[in-house]
Structure 1
Amino acid sequence: MKAENKKILDVMKFRHACKKFDPTKRVSDEDFETILEAGRLAPTSFGMEPFKILVVESQDLKDKLYPVSWGAQRSIEGASHLVIFLARKRADLVADGEYITHMLKDVHQIPEEAREMRRSIYRQYSEKDFGFIHFEDASLEWSRKQAYIVMANMLTAAAYLGIDSCPIEGFDYAKVADILEEAGVLDPKHFGVAVMASFGYRGEEPRHEKTRRPMSEIVERI
């Protein structure tokens, strides 16, 4: 096996859902900015980036999240950084809307003569091919899928830096959304909660090596 291949697999084996963090160790600003940048560079469908990353630094906010986020409690107690991923709702995803126009014009910087062609392709996809734009729940779920890709990039980048992490779904979505809305960091017209993740350094080693199904069970070449 080439050294580059082994490095990749070693990083994947190092990464695990850390359940106990060492509260005395903090991820450096440089390393965490690199993790955030890995998230920013993640691929999303049509490059529309329908997500937002909240880095929770307020202890008061952590205290409010603690009782309604059972899956995040040990992270709140010991992780260096807690992150909440938000997903954009239908209001921001319509083809002719302000957000999509901003992405096409200002972010992608598509020339005006080509912009409407790109918009029409996205409209076909969102309204007919995938059809999520007709329903609020489906639109939010589409955005959540993109947020998960962003999170995966960040988890992998952290592992490459020797930093532990934990993806977190164990929380009351409605209550977390209410807390974030009350704190003024979530506009319920535009965003819903997708998932959480924490980053830091393990306080104990995993109890066993990573277990996965064999390749023969998960891959079929057709």
Structure 2
Amino acid sequence: MNAIAGIATDIQTQILDAFNFRHATKVFDHTRKIDDSAFATMLEAARLSPTSFGHEPFKVLVIQAPEKRELFREFSWGANGMMNGSRGQLGTASHFGIILASTGQMMKAGSDYLQTHYRSVKQLPEDVITLFNGAYGNFQTTDHDITTDRQITDWSGKQAYIVLANMMTAGALMGIDSCPIEGFDMGRTTETLAQHFGIDTAQWKPAVMFAFGYRAKEPEFAKTRRSMDETVSWF
């Protein structure tokens, strides 16, 4: 085996080890905090994540103040520890937050937001912007039939999950535990974000919560998944 092949094999092992290490951590060791540089790396993995058309229809909220976290406890059963008799992820995670998804107001083809995004972020020339508007408009109305605000927000949520997956994988590679959380009341979470966090909920809706830190104990059960033959089909 040459040196390059050896490096590749080592990377493959690290990746699989990270995926086997990661599990949905319900209770974290509240005394252990993620190093600032490590979490910055995870946020950079989020920022660099791929999104459809490169539209980046997401925003990451990191909620560290205990009193701010507690605002969600009553209606976030997936993070409040009720299922396991603990303070849950809200009370024990080193880092907790929510990934927001852009609504139709921002992501409908031809929107003012997208025109600004094309010019200031993607730095596209005007003729390419015209092509983008046409292609994306066709994608929404014809290819995928995602034209209502709910449909567009759900589409943005798909991009948000790519972002969170990359954050969790980056964390696992550094030995950091995580939990994606969908167990929350969407309406009350949206109201809380508007009232206490200044989020314009006409433009942004919560997609998924997240928690990162270090496990308080090892998982009680071994990781189980379908076999590769059941998961993948080759043609």
Whole-angstrom CA distance in 2 between matches of 1:169 and 1:101: 32
Mark the runs of 5 or more structure 2 residues left unpaired by the alignment.
1-5, 81-87
In structure 2, the partner of 1:68 is 75
Residues 152-167 of structure 1: pairs in structure 2 closer than 5 A:
152-167=165-180
CA distance in 2, matches of 1:9, 1:184: 38
Q: Which amino acid aligns with 1:213?
A: R
Structure 1: stretches of 5+ with no match in the other structure: none
Out of 111, 116, 129, the residue aligned to residue 102 of structure 1 is 116
Aligned equivalents of 2:123, 2:62: Cα separation in 1: 28
The offset of 1:10, in angstroms, is: 0.5
Matched, 1:120 2:134: yes
Q: TM-score, normalised by structure 2?
A: 0.91
For residues 94 and 66 of structure 1, the distance between their equivalents in structure 2, rounded to whole angstroms, comes to 33
Number of positions where the alignment pairs a residue of Structure 1 with one of Structure 2: 221
What one-letter code is carried by the residue in structure 2 that aligns with 1:22? D
How much has 1:89 moved relative to structure 2? Answer: 0.6
Counterpart of 1:86 in 2: which secondary structure?
A: strand
**More deviation, 52-61/190-199:** 52-61
Offset, 1:58: 2.4
Amino acid at match of 2:215: R
Kindly provide the amino acid, as one letter, of the partner of residue 52 in structure 2: S
Deviation per CA, 1:1-42, whole angstroms, max 9, x where unpaired? 922211110111011111110000000111111111101111
Q: Provide the residue aligned with 2:15 in structure 1.
A: 8
Match of 2:199 in 1: 186
Deviations 1:82-116, CA, capped at 9 Å, x for gaps: 01011111111122211111221111111123221
Secondary structure of the 2:72 match is helix
Amino acid at match of 2:109: A
Cα deviation digits, residues 104-152 of structure 1 (max 9, x gap): 11111111232211221111112221121x2111111101111011000
SS state at 2:163 partner: helix
The alignment partner of 1:110 has SS state of coil
Residue 175 of structure 2 aligns to a residue whose secondary structure is coil
Show the counterpart of 2:50: 43
Q: Which residue of 2 aligns with 1:27?
A: 34
Contact 2:108 2:152 in 1 (8 A): no
Cα distance in 1 for residues equivalent to 2:197 and 2:64 = 14
Partner of 2:233: 220
Paired amino acid for 2:100: L
- Quote the sequence identity (%): 41
Q: Which TM-score applies when normalising by structure 1?
A: 0.96
